[in-house]
Amino acid sequence: MTTTSEYEEAVRAAAKELEQAQTVDDVRKTWKKYYLTIGHRSLGRLLLGRSAEDLIARREAKSG
């Protein structure tokens, strides 16, 4: 399991890379790079337009 700071860094980096992705291969590379750290669901949410801050806040709320 990743620590909170590792998760936050990975979510922000993945969000930035997905925003800059121009091809399907760019998305695939980003996905493979981050799915073990932040998970498929979080990556999917980023890909669909959720912000990194929303995902971080959601994780903090769950961990209580």
pLDDT of the residue at 2:
81
Distance CA 37, CA 55 (A): 13
Average pLDDT, the chain: 95
DSSP per-residue codes, the chain: ---HHHHHHHHHHHHHHHHH--SHHHHHHHHHHHHHHH-HHHHHHHHTT--HHHHHHHHHHHH-
Q: Residue 13 burial (CB < 10 Å; 0-12/13-18/19+)? A: middle
Q: How many CB atoms lie within 10 A of CB 3?
A: 8
pLDDT of the residue at 63:
84
Q: Residue 1: is its pLDDT beyond 90?
A: no
